[in-house]
Amino acid sequence: MNILLDNITIIPMTARDFVIEKGYIVITGNTITRMGDGPAPQGQYDKIIDGTNKVALPGFINTHTHAAMTLLRGYADDLPLMEWLQTKIWPLEDRLTAEDIYWGTLLANIEMIKSGTTAFTDMYFHMDEAAQAVEKSGLRGILSRGMVGVGPENELAITQSRELFNKWQGAANGRITFMLGPHAPYTCPPDYLKQVIALADELGAGIHIHLAETKGEFEDIKKQYGKTPVELMNDIGLLERRVLAAHCVHLTPGDIEILASKKVGVAHNPESNMKLASGIAPVPEMLEKGIAVALGTDGASSNNNLDMLQEMRSCALLHKVNTFNPTVLPAGQALEMATVNGAKALGMEKETGKLEAGMKADLILLSLSEPHMTPRYDILANIVYAGQASDVLTVIVDGNIIMEDRVIKTVDEQEVLEHCRTIAERLVKG
């Protein structure tokens, strides 16, 4: 299918603050084939989208979430992380079925599409059903089966991860990627992580892990092993692989040097970290060292939404007030974290995260007609500081229009909502 976006403002994210005020984008199949300013080239197009009063930019990349936790949204709020997990979340998760995960992931996909996300990184269980949901929704999904090394399913997690990788890697025209998902250093001892490393080498898979999320984790690992969580992961060789580390809140200067030298991608989750009072990650320091710090929402039970526009704004404001410096994390850099850095953190920077010829056609169109987008002195500032999910009009992933004028094309939204309400009623009844 050939698609022309005409008369449109474009934020390519090929350089910070670069904007094409009135231009065009040509999509052929799943790829951007031409793009520039001025009049669009003549040609035969299957669809022409008028971009008047709209802006096109790369779709957001949510680098850390637990998609089906949409089913637990609002169930156990205002608790510390470990109490929240052990007394509320884990017991309720035990009641979730594979079918529940399918519907909960679809619910998350709808929410992400409607707020401009085109790719997301997920770690959970029943990931066969999660992959089916991604295949249906049209999003780009980077999925991993959560692996816990201290429980009864530790070996099963290894087996299932291998099976899932072999079944789904590159599926849905390349939209689905599988990683390995060891949960965290405090649930996966070094001997188990060495098994994960061996499997990663066997499959050529990346690794997605929670790392240094809480002060308690940091202190417990230091007491047990005499090393910080980052030092421990480095010493066992995990960081020699392609790693996406979620959170990275409690880091020493030495930890930051290690992450930079090993080219570890970091998924920063400001709203989840604030809500669970986990702390404030040293993001400006990591960015200064050249680390690909991206953004994630975490699960909807600790955020409580999957809105990357809101996450960008929270990120920028949090680090300004934390450093008492209003120049820290300007709008353009926050937008980079949600797009360019997300692709870099996942090793996908040659495919997505920016708009230029040869890249996959993963992009979103936002309305510039809303009161909060007026006036427009700085379009990047408007998007980061004033943008709302409802501004997202159209979402294109892999060259397919999966939402147009706020109507999702791939999934029956009302059917999904009804299923998820029924599941929630069953869960709380026990």
**Does 427 map to a domain?**
no
Provide the pLDDT for residue 430.
Answer: 66
Say which DSSP state 210 is in: E
**Does 93 map to a domain?**
yes
Question: What CATH number is given to the structural domain containing 325?
Answer: 3.20.20.140
Domain shared by 270 and 199, yes or no: yes
Domain shared by 8 and 116, yes or no: no
The residue segments making up the domain with residue 126 are 60-345
Tens digit of pLDDT per residue, the chain (430 long)? 899 999 999 999 999 989 999 999 999 999 999 999 999 999 999 999 999 999 999 999 999 999 999 999 999 888 888 888 889 888 999 999 999 999 999 999 999 999 999 999 999 999 999 999 999 999 999 999 999 999 888 999 999 999 999 999 999 999 999 999 999 999 999 999 999 999 999 999 999 999 999 999 999 999 999 999 999 999 999 999 999 999 999 999 999 999 999 999 999 999 999 999 999 999 999 999 999 999 999 999 999 999 999 999 999 999 999 999 999 999 999 999 999 999 999 999 999 999 999 999 999 999 999 999 999 999 999 999 999 999 999 999 999 999 999 999 999 999 999 999 999 999 988 6
Helices (H), 324-405: 331-338, 340-345, 379-381
Say which DSSP state 45 is in: -
Domain shared by 207 and 84, yes or no: yes
Question: What CATH number is given to the structural domain containing 361?
Answer: 2.30.40.10
Domain shared by 49 and 196, yes or no: no
**Does 29 map to a domain?**
yes
Domain shared by 30 and 154, yes or no: no
**Does 350 map to a domain?**
no
Domain count, the chain: 2
Q: Which residue bears the tokens 């939402």? A: 403
Domain shared by 37 and 172, yes or no: no
Q: Is the dihedral of CA 335, 340, 341, 342 positive or negative?
A: positive
Domain shared by 273 and 170, yes or no: yes
Domain shared by 160 and 16, yes or no: no
Phi, psi of 334 (to 5 degrees): -60, -40
Domain shared by 165 and 285, yes or no: yes
